[in-house]
Amino acid sequence: MNDLPMIRSSEVAAAQSSGRPVVALESTIITHGMPYPQNLTVARQVEDDLRAMGVTPATIAVIDGVLHIGLEDETLEALAQARAVSKLSRADLAACLATKGTGATTVAATMIAARLAGIEVFATGGIGGVHRGAEESFDVSADLLELAQTAVTVVAAGAKAILDVAKTLEVLETHGVPVISVGQDSFPAFWSAQSEHKAPLRMDEAETIAEAHLLRQRIGLPGGQLVANPIPQQDEIAAQHLAPIIATAHRDALAHGISGKAVTPYLLQRIFELTDGRSLTANIALVRNNARLAGEIAQALSEKSR
Ligand code: PSU
Ligand code: MN
């Protein structure tokens, strides 16, 4: 059996060997979700926010055929600047390692890597979901199926408003994924704190979310939890303001024949242009807010296992 080509950063290795809390972070948001140089600034800021609360960040990516759990700062910088880095989901991870490639991990691939490395909590911006028009395109993100089978608690700001949120919630329900809103009943819509959809579950304390994570394991349920953390009110963009912009972005995607993996990055970039960068400011605020909550959940988990 081949050994898995995986290395931990020195700070992740040190934290894990002394049982201190670690939070996984994805890298597709850096390479495909935000423009340079803001992507690098945010990636560093989120890591520093976690360190400031005594939690170790583990940004995950594949570099030259090695799965990295935690990136050294030069590597993070190179990744943020790189063009044409692959976007790795469940289907691509082993292939990228085998071909000694470099790629950024999506929510699905980051969950797989986190679980392999023994990290139970992961913070991101928004998960992939069921795209609008999926009844024609069949475009359903692998992130949803990953949540059904990989035992990692994922903190996100709900599902991006570019998706069909109702269908996304239905698929999660079918696959038995707990969808937990924090501090409100509504399922948050990424750039906006509220959506018209009620989340199936609500928990207001990190401690309870950690307890539910552990109880799923005690019951023997595979899969993780989706924690839907609303964007702070002062940073949100109202849903009514975004709706026509999202519609334009979709029309443009269709007109340019964008499909497959390119859909989400294209829409995010187009919405960034159409909002004069406001979508990015909101995106940054919500990612930092998610990392903070993920840090609290990781702290609660490490206290419970002491
Ligand atoms: N959330 C963001 N920006 C992103 C993504 C999520 O704020 O770039 C990425 C994540 O990596 C997620 C992926 O897993 O988009 C979903 O892509 P797709 O819809 O192709 O599955
Ligand atoms: Mn897709």
> pLDDT-derived band of residue 73, with 50, 70 and 90 as boundaries?
very high
161 — alpha (psi -120 to 50), left (phi > 0) or beta? alpha
Q: How buried is 10 (Cβ within 10 angstroms: 0-12 exposed, 13-18 middle, 19+ buried)?
A: exposed
From 46, 59, 85, 124, mutation site for ligand 1 pocket: most ligand atoms within 8 A of C-beta: 124
Residue nearest to atom 17 of ligand 1 (CA): 128
pLDDT digits (tens, 9 = 90+) for 79-135: 999 988 999 999 999 999 999 999 999 999 999 999 999 999 999 999 999 999 999
Q: Compute and round to an integer the Cα radius of gyration of the chain.
A: 18
In the prediction, which pLDDT does 1 show?
57
| pLDDT in the model for residue 84 | 85
27 lines ligand 1 (CB under 6 A): no
Average pLDDT over residues 185-212: 96
pLDDT of 281 strictly over 90: yes
Among residues 26, 47, 120, 296, the one annotated as catalytic is 26
- The C-alpha atoms of residue 46 and residue 181 are separated, in whole angstroms, by 21
Q: What is the pLDDT of residue 165?
A: 95
Q: Note the pLDDT of residue 305.
A: 86
Mutate to test the pocket of ligand 1, among 26, 27, 29, 231 (most ligand atoms within 8 A of CB): 29
Q: Which two tokens stand for residue 120?
A: 């139970």
Of 129, 125, 176, 171, nearest to 150 by C-alpha is: 176
Q: Is the pLDDT of residue 2 over 80?
A: no
Ligand 1 atom nearest residue 260's Cα: 20
Of ligand 1's listed atoms, the one at least distance from the Cα of 131 is 19
pLDDT band at 162 (very low <50, low <70, confident <90, very high): confident
pLDDT of 160: 84
> Residue 33: CB within 6 Å of ligand 1?
yes
Active site residue 26: yes
pLDDT tens per residue across span 169-183:
999 999 999 999 999
Check: pTM over 0.85? Answer yes or no: yes
Please count the helices (runs of H) and the strands (runs of E) in the chain.
13, 11
Catalytic residue among 146, 160, 236, 296: 160
Compute the distance from residue 283 Cα to the ligand 1 centre, in Å.
Answer: 12
* Separation of CA 302 and ligand 1 centre (Å): 28
Summary mean pLDDT of the chain: 96
Judge if the beta carbon of residue 129 lies within 6 A of ligand 1: no
